Chains A and B, each alone.
Chain A
Amino acid sequence: MTSQSSIFVTLSSTAVRSGTILLLPTLGEIFAERAGILNLGIEGMMIIGALFGFIAGFVTKNPYIGFVVGMIAGGLSALIHAFVSITLRGNQIVSGLALTIFGLGITNFFGQPWINRKFTIPVKDYAIPGLSKIPYVGQIFFHQDLFVYFSYVLMIAMWFMLFKTKLGVHLRAVGENARASDAMGVNVNRNRYFWTFFGGLLAGGGGAYLTLVYAPFWLDGITAGRGWIALALVIFAMWNPLYAFIGAYLFGGIDALQFQLQASGTTIPSSLLNMQPYLLTLIVVVAATIVLRKRHIGTPRELGEPYDREER
């Protein structure tokens, strides 16, 4: 039971689960930002998804319904941000921050009767035939629950859509040069609305996965800042869905790794270990810009800039 390799496998498969809480919001924000909308409200959308997903799961006794409701709740809350930043052409930073504060406030209010309740329906793990037999990899990645598999499929589908389809070209064009895409006949506002909504769906899903599977109960402020980490992971992934999992699992795994070091009695200060993922993000950004001599690491050119057709 406690041989080194089985500890490694157990901790890694836990890292994948706790990484999934981050992976979903990161993927969503990548698409929203690709469309030119910076949404600092991930934390707020996550916690809204976490509460309403939890309530729905609790009432229907079905984690899958809970997850879908959590996604929808997150998506609807993102529409507030879309309205302010697209229709009103407001400041996206202010609006996103307000959305985070709003999310924390509204869940504090509506969450009161649900505090201390726990969600007791266990979510089953499924072994993928064939793949799950691969040593280590199979144990870690292919003995998971349906939500984790959903995130795998989603990640690949999103990468394909973004870089291989016309829909993806439109999405990227809107974030790179809204005026030019408008001239080409792409509906800028409709695209931006949709992808902001989509980002909210996934942020809500990440929150719901937290309260339905990973820490299945409701307490105020349960996301504890994970939305901000997702925001950093977007940069870490250089706006590419396929790289998002590296950062997400790294953040999930770093806890496991640094806790493992602590539990075995290391003398490295835990605060130093806690710093690792943030340090890595910085290194990736610096390396990508300086070492690769690439000025454009995927940052959408018009990220955060409102688009006004009338303006010249």
Chain B
Amino acid sequence: MKKFLLAILVLAFVFTPVFGGVGHAADKMKVAFIYVGPHNDGGWTQAHDNGRIYLEKHVPGVITSYSENVPEGAPAEKVIRDYANQGYKVIFATSFGFMDPMYNVAKDYPNVIFEHCAGYKTRKNMGTYFGRMYQPDYLAGIIAGFMTKSNYIGFVAPFSIPEVVREIDAFTIGVQEVNKKAKVHVIWTNSWFDPVKEANAANTFLANGADIIASGTDSPAPLQAAEKKGKYSIGYDSDMAKFAPKSVLTSRIWHWGIFYARAVKEVKAGTWKSTEYWGGMKDGIISLAPYGPMVPEKVKAYVKKRKDQILAGTFDPFDGPIYDQKGKLRVKKGQQLSDKDKLSLQWFVQGVVGSIPKSGS
């Protein structure tokens, strides 16, 4: 009996998500965030938590709370429901796996506004939001294309879902635009977060002569592996320069606060409508982190030219002509890959070495 009590105690201790900073002021609008990882994970969730802090600072009369380490699936439903019960007006769920739980809760609370990150299910009171990360990916690719000497660039990739394929393609389009000889090699780790596997993947690239490692996974292990060998790297999620200052050229980063402030302002003003938000660089939701000191002015100037065009809306990384891996023309000159095609992308562009495993779903 003792051992079961012990086990149950331990389970209860571990699985109780931590509720942080619950507010008191009744006149303030209460906003909740559901996190899949710890708020200071240095990657994905940290980027969202920075957004939460930005929201508190920039929108007066708002008070925020968050639950971290919330498991995806059924347990999340209880956490979301609790917030709705406690009079929270807006709830943000920041991981794909919170989609169905939020969708279920949203049905029962028509007066609460729900926003889900990276999903595709909406209701009258539930919208989705995400960012066009492929734009910074493309710009980072330009930098890599200029900086590589061995013309071997390694991309450590998590899962073969359209979001990641889009990142690799945009990155490679940038590389190839300035350096036709450079190739982007891809390794799938089949995991969002596994530092050992990520380091192994980076070390494999380095042994094969890679001089730039780009990371699409959540840990800084690939960047540190590159720094150890005196090679360059490109980070993801948030500015990863502090992990490998001699190696990181730049990182592709999220600024969720821009969206959070906008959405909450709309709710306050009563103008909020359920949308499928897919913000770009011009909205400020994504960008490149400050460049490392090794990036030359010439390269910065070229990137700035392209960035200005993206901001002005006169250029998109997926403007034709685009050839696929086998040399087949996929997007004609003068045309552009549609948003629908971008969202379901499952082929590699010219310049990528690697293949896309058939995903199970």
Chain A contacts to B: CB under 8 angstroms: 1-2, 6-7, 10-11, 14, 18, 21, 84, 88, 90-91, 94-95, 97-98, 101-102, 104-105, 108, 112, 115-116, 118, 122, 210, 214-217, 219-222, 224-226, 255-256, 259-260, 262-267, 269-271, 274
Give 15 A-B contacts (CB < 8 Å), ordered by A residue: A2-B208, A116-B242, A116-B243, A118-B242, A215-B199, A217-B195, A219-B195, A220-B38, A222-B219, A224-B195, A260-B204, A263-B185, A265-B354, A265-B355, A270-B357
CB distance from B217 to the nearest CB of A (A): 11
Shortest beta-carbon distance, A75 to chain B, in Å? 19
Residues of B within 8 A of A97 (CB): 7
CB distance from B245 to the nearest CB of A (A): 10
**In the complex, B205 has a CB within 8 A of chain A:** yes
The answer to whether the Cβ of B187 comes within 8 Å of any Cβ in the partner chain is yes
Contact A88 B200 (CB under 8 A): no
| Contact partner, B10, options A14, A98, A116, A219, Cβ 8 Å | A98
Q: Does B275 have its Cβ within 8 Å of any Cβ on chain A?
A: no
Q: Complex formed: what's the CA distance from A97 to B11 in Å?
A: 10
**Contact among A101, A220, A262, A265 for B11, CB-based, below 8 A:** A101
Which residues does chain A contribute within 8 Å of B298, judged by CB atoms? none
B190 touches A266 (CB 8 A): no
Contact A94 B7 (CB under 8 A): yes
Q: Measured between alpha carbons, how far is A144 from B15 in the docked complex, in Å?
A: 40
Q: Which residues of B contact A112 (CB under 8 A)?
A: 38, 40
CA distance A224 to B41 in the complex (A): 15
B197 CB contact (under 8 Å) in A98, A122, A255? A255
User: What residues on A are CB-neighbors of B185 within 8 Å?
Assistant: 263-265
Task: Tell me if B200 and A14 are in contact (CB < 8 A).
Answer: yes
Q: Which of B203, B220, B354 contacts A11 (CB 8 A)?
A: B203
Are A259 and B200 closer than 8 Å at their CB atoms? yes
A220 to B190, CA, bound (A): 19
- Given the complex of chains A and B, what is the CA–CA distance between A2 and B69 in angstroms? 43
Minimum distance in angstroms from B276 CB to a CB of chain A: 31
Contacts of A84 in B (CB 8 A): 3, 6
The answer to whether A98 and B6 touch across the interface, beta carbons within 8 angstroms, is yes
B209 touches A (CB below 8 Å) = yes
B357 touches A269 (CB 8 A): yes
Known contacts A14-B203, A102-B10, A224-B197, then 20 further A-B pairs from the complex at CB < 8 Å, ordered by chain A residue: A1-B209, A14-B207, A84-B3, A94-B4, A95-B7, A98-B3, A115-B41, A116-B242, A118-B224, A118-B242, A122-B228, A215-B221, A225-B194, A256-B203, A262-B186, A263-B208, A265-B185, A265-B353, A269-B358, A271-B357
Cα of A265 to Cα of B208 in the assembled complex, Å? 13
Bound complex: CA A231 to CA B154 (Å) = 32
Number of B interface residues at 8 Å Cβ cutoff, please give it: 50
Q: Which residues of B contact A263 (CB under 8 A)?
A: 154, 185-187, 204-205, 208, 353-354
1-44 of chain B: CB within 8 A of chain A: 2-4, 6-7, 10-11, 13-14, 37-38, 40-42
Residues of A within 8 A of B354 (CB): 262-263, 265
Task: Given A215-B199, A217-B243, check contact A2 B209 (CB 8 Å).
Answer: yes
Take A108-B69, A219-B219, A269-B357 as given contacts and tell me if A88 and B208 are in contact as well, using a CB distance cutoff of 8 Å: no
A residues less than 8 Å from B40 (CB atoms): 112, 115-116
- CB pair A256 B219 closer than 8 Å: no
Do residues A94 and B188 form an inter-chain contact, with CB atoms below 8 A?
no
Across-interface contacts of B38 in A (CB, < 8 A) = 108, 112, 115, 220
Residues of B within 8 A of A94 (CB): 3-4, 7
- CA of A101 to CA of B7 in the docked complex: distance in angstroms? 9
The distance in angstroms between the C-alpha atoms of A224 and B198, with both chains bound, is: 11
Report yes or no: B196 in contact with A21, Cβ–Cβ below 8 A. Answer: yes
Q: What's the minimum C-beta distance from A108 to chain B, rounded to whole angstroms?
A: 7
Identify the interface centre among B4, B69, B196, B209: most chain A CB within 10 Å of its CB. B196
- B353-A226 in contact (CB<8A): no
Q: Does B191 contact A (CB under 8 A)?
A: yes
The answer on a CB contact under 8 Å between B207 and A7 is: yes
Chain B, 149-164, CB within 8 A of any chain A CB: 154
Chain A residues closer than 8 Å to B154, beta-carbon distance: 263
Q: Which of B3, B206, B243 contacts A118 (CB 8 A)?
A: B243
Q: From B3, B6, B10, B195, give the contact of A105 (CB < 8 A).
A: B10
Instruction: Indicate whether B193 reaches chain A with its CB closer than 8 angstroms.
Output: yes
Taking a contact as CB atoms under 8 Å apart, the answer to whether A220 and B196 are in contact is no
B188 closest partner in A (C-beta) = A270
CA distance A1 to B6 in the complex (A): 56
| Residue in chain B with minimal CB distance to A274 | B190
In the assembled complex, B93 has its CB within 8 A of some CB on chain A: no
A217 touches B224 (CB 8 A): yes
CB neighbours (8 Å) of B42 from chain A are 115-116, 219
10 smallest beta-carbon distances between A and B, as pairs: A105-B14, A90-B3, A215-B195, A10-B207, A259-B204, A2-B209, A255-B200, A116-B42, A224-B194, A269-B357
List A contacts of B207 (CB < 8 A).
6-7, 10-11, 14, 260
Is B201 interfacial (CB-CB < 8 Å)? Answer: yes
Pair B355/A266 contact, Cβ less than 8 Å: yes
Cβ of A7 to closest chain B Cβ, rounded Å: 5
In the complex, the answer to whether A214 meets B41 with C-beta atoms within 8 Å is: no
Q: Does B204 contact A222, Cβ atoms closer than 8 Å?
A: no
Does the CB pair B200–A256 fall under 8 Å? yes
Given contacts A215-B195, A219-B42, A263-B354, whether A98 and B7 have CB atoms under 8 Å apart is yes
Contacts of A210 in B (CB 8 A): 195-196
Q: Across the two chains, which residue of chain B brings its CB closest to A223?
A: B196
Neighbouring A residues of B190 by C-beta, 8 Å: 270-271, 274
Using CB atoms, name the residue of chain B closest to A115.
Answer: B40
Smallest Cβ distance from A222 to chain B, in angstroms?
Answer: 6
On chain B, the residues within 8 Å of A225 by CB distance are 194
Contact A219 B41 (CB under 8 A): yes
Closest to B191 in A: A224
Neighbour of A220 across the interface among B37, B194, B221, CB < 8 A = B37
